[in-house]
Amino acid sequence: MKDYKEYTVTEFVLDDSFRRWVLKNLPTDSSFWEKWVLENPSKNESVTQARAFILKMNQTHELLSENELKQAISNLSEARNREEVFVKPLLNRISWWKQAAAAVVVLGVLGAFYTVYQSKISSTVVYEVRKSQLGTQLVEVINDDKVEKLVSLPDGSQVRLSPLSRLSYPKTFTSTVREVYLSGEGFFNVTKNPQKPFLVYANELVTKVLGTSFLIRAFDKADKVEVIVKTGKVAVYSIKEEAIKTPTTELTGTILTPNQQVVFDRKVENMEKTLVSIPTPVLAIAEQTKVGLSFSNTPVEQALDALSQKYSIPIVFDKNILKACEISAEFAEESFYEQLDLICKAIGATYQVVDAQIVIQGKGCSIN
């Protein structure tokens, strides 16, 4: 039995069993590799890179030009003593694209090669790689229409799938976790089940929930991936984080609540948590959304607390400094930020958005 735990990306690419699993997904290979991947989470990144490389090489012969291939093999031959590899036997028994993989990797360039060409390996390929990890019993929905398509999942959850988007999920969820893969945009309304976390894999991010509603925007060629929460609470992770690899009902990572969002910049691999541009009232206090907010000589602390509750947005301020401030106002159609601007203007204060919350600063009010 081969010791796959010590395998590099190169060795995975050149392994016959691994390639059969990626390209043909035969039952014997699938049974072994799916179990092995689950038992060896530390090799997840190497497996993912090797899968993406094999799929791309199988998809097109244009990844390396003929001259680049010849040059790589020539360089490999010159370097064989230093690299301690047997070039001729290897090149005699493997096909051209495997030669390309061997040449590039033995020269120590596969990591750089993968980085340089990852822009050409679109998110659709990443999506294909990830959905294959769910096995062969998949349902895939492709929205080629110009309007949203409603998708019902096995657990009763629903997804409003946007145009030019794809969603894959198993016919039956496992006993411990609910996993789906998204390419494009979808609004999720997840059935609550605290014992069975719901995971959405979309480009470089994984969104984990127990039951809530949220939007994910992860189009193939977009520079950013966005997760926007409508109701409840979600946890967002980078795909590289270990926290997502073991099913658990605990929500860690970057936590989002209503009117908060995460924006992941794919170019610099940076994740920023902030507020949405146009906050909406939360459903839990819908009665307030109909009548608006009305204040008459109301302590500003109460006004700010009411605004915070209506939009489920934390508003931080020094109660001692603002304790003498009062406000009289009626809000109906004004947006969250318009209401906040008017309140701050009335008491001579300013505010900033810091880590998805409002921080108010002011000198206070004089006591008449």
pLDDT tens figures, 55-110: 766 654 444 444 544 444 444 444 444 434 434 444 444 454 555 555 444 444 44
Q: Are 76 and 100 in contact (CB under 8 A)?
A: no
pTM: 0.62
Q: Please give the single-letter amino acid code of residue 357.
A: Q
Q: Rounded to an integer, what distance in angstroms lies between the CA atom of residue 24 and that of residue 55?
A: 11
Predicted pLDDT at 28:
72
Mean pLDDT of the chain: 77
The residue with tokens 């920023």 is 272
Q: Is the pLDDT of residue 114 over 50?
A: no
Instruction: Name the percent of the chain lying above pLDDT 70.
Output: 71
User: What's the confidence (pLDDT) of residue 87?
Assistant: 40
Instruction: Say if residues 272 and 262 touch (Cβ distance below 8 Å).
Output: yes
Q: Which helix (H) or strand (E) holds 341?
A: helix 336-347
- Mean pLDDT across 30-37: 80
Look at residues 309, 332, 194 and name the one whose alpha carbon lies nearest to residue 251: 194
* Model confidence pLDDT, tens digit, residues 210-241: 778 999 999 877 889 999 999 888 999 887 76
Report pLDDT for 53: 73
Coil vs helix vs strand at 166: strand
Question: What does the pLDDT look like over 116-161, one tens digit per residue?
Answer: 344 434 444 567 666 666 555 788 999 998 899 999 999 999 999 9
Query: pLDDT tens digits for 299-358?
Result: 999 999 999 999 999 999 999 999 999 999 999 888 999 999 999 999 999 999 988 899
